[in-house]
Amino acid sequence: MTELFTHNTAITGGADPLLSVRNVSNSYISRSFGLFGKKEIKPVLDNVNLDIAEGEIFGLSGESGCGKSTLARCILGLIDYEGEIFWSGQKGPQQGGQKQEQRPPALVQMVFQDPGASLSPSKKIGWLLEEPLVIHKRAPEERSRKVDEMLVRVGLDPSYKTRRVGELSGGQKQRVCIGRSLILEPKLLIADEAISALDVSVGAQILNLFRELHESLGLAILFISHNMDAAEYLCDRIAVMKNGKFNPFSNK
């Protein structure tokens, strides 16, 4: 049975969870055009509280524009926020715009909606999986072993190493994105609308892949989707967001 959160909090209590989001709020500042353009503050997240345990799949649903991706960016440390984020009880970075190496790759990685846009079509699959390991200065033997293992894990034949992105289907590209995100062994994968651009049957296969990865790797997943059916299929707990809050009126 899926547990659905109907208040602005999804706190589990107990020992330190993998991720704790506490009273996180944020606003975007935009300026209208022109010399005397007015500065406008647009509040997005409103005191969000959330825990994700090690190895848990947590669903975040809600209509487009409610703030789901903004919460993901706060968790990744990409943008500023008020409030606190803890990783296994340790306070996470609060400033946005950090350099890649200052973010916690061992803890969290993300896959996005459009796998085509995040992979250059001329790149070889083997290289895309290996690149994060090269950046993190892993030894060549380890890199080659991990790339082979990861292809199998994400359901691609090892011969795909030499293929180029442009030769793959949408579902296969998303498998490559997932493999690339997991190659540094994060504890949490954020999947932001990761099946929304795919055909229904292909999306269902990717949902099953998330479930397999969760079971075989003990991976925790923050599954963000406006598709409530998909979230209910995959997740143990779901929060529904509306206007930057977990929606107190949702009782689906």
Ligand X SMILES: Nc1ncnc2c1ncn2[C@@H]1O[C@H](COP(=O)(O)OP(=O)(O)O)[C@@H](O)[C@H]1O
Q: Choose from ligand X, Mg ion, none: what does 121 bind? Cβ within 5-8 Å by kind.
A: none
With residues binned 3-state (H G I as helix, E B as strand, rest as coil), the percentages for the chain, rounded to 5, are: 35, 25, 40
Does 50 bind ligand X (CB under 6 A)? Our answer is no
Least Cβ distance, residue 132 to ligand X (angstroms): 25
Binder of residue 169, out of Mg ion, ligand X, none (CB less than 5 to 8 A by kind): none
Residues 6+ apart with CB under 8 A from 160: 125, 126, 151, 168, 172
Name, in order, each residue with C-beta under 8 angstroms of 140's C-beta and a sequence gap of 6 or more.
none
* Cβ 126 vs Cβ 162: under 8 Å: yes
Site residues for ligand X, window 67-96 (CB under 6 A)? 67-70
201 near ligand X, judged by CB under 6 A: no
Q: Verify binding: residue 65, ligand X, rule CB under 6 A.
A: yes
Q: How far apart are CA 77 and CA 2, in angstroms?
A: 29
Residues found in the chain? 252
Q: Which is nearer to ligand X, 68 or 173 (CB)?
A: 68
* Segment contacting ligand X by CB under 6 A, of 61-69, 100-108, 127-135, 148-156: 61-69
**# residues near ligand X by CB under 6 A:** 11
Contact status: 245 vs ligand X (CB under 6 A): no
Half-sphere exposure of 228 (CA within 13 A, CB side): 12
With binding defined as CB under 6 A, does residue 30 bind ligand X?
yes
Residues 6+ apart with CB under 8 A from 133: 142, 143, 146, 147, 183, 184
119 near 176, Cβ under 8 Å? yes
Minimum distance of ligand X from residue 62's CB (angstroms): 6
Instruction: Provide, rounded to whole angstroms, the least separation between the CB of residue 18 and ligand X.
Output: 22
Least distance from C-beta 65 to ligand X, angstroms?
Answer: 4
Q: What does 38 bind: ligand X, Mg ion, none (CB cut-off 5 to 8 Å by kind)?
A: none
Distances 208 to 168, 212, 240 between C-alpha atoms, Å? 19, 6, 22
Q: Is residue 64 a contact residue for ligand X (CB under 6 A)? A: yes
Beta carbon of residue 229, minimum distance to ligand X (angstroms, whole number) = 17
User: Is residue 42 at the binding interface for ligand X, with CB under 6 A as the rule?
Assistant: yes
- 38 contact partners, CB below 8 Å, separation of at least 6: 31, 32
Query: Does residue 26 touch ligand X according to CB under 6 A?
Result: no
Can you give the binding site for Mg ion, defined by CB under 5 A? 68-69
Chain residue at closest Cβ approach to Mg ion:
69
Q: Which of 10, 24, 44, 222 binds ligand X (CB under 6 A)?
A: 44
Cβ proximity to ligand X: between 160 and 223 the closer is 223
Specify the DSSP element, H or E, that contains 31: strand 19-31
Chain contacts with ligand X (rule: CB under 6 A): 28, 30, 42, 44, 64-70
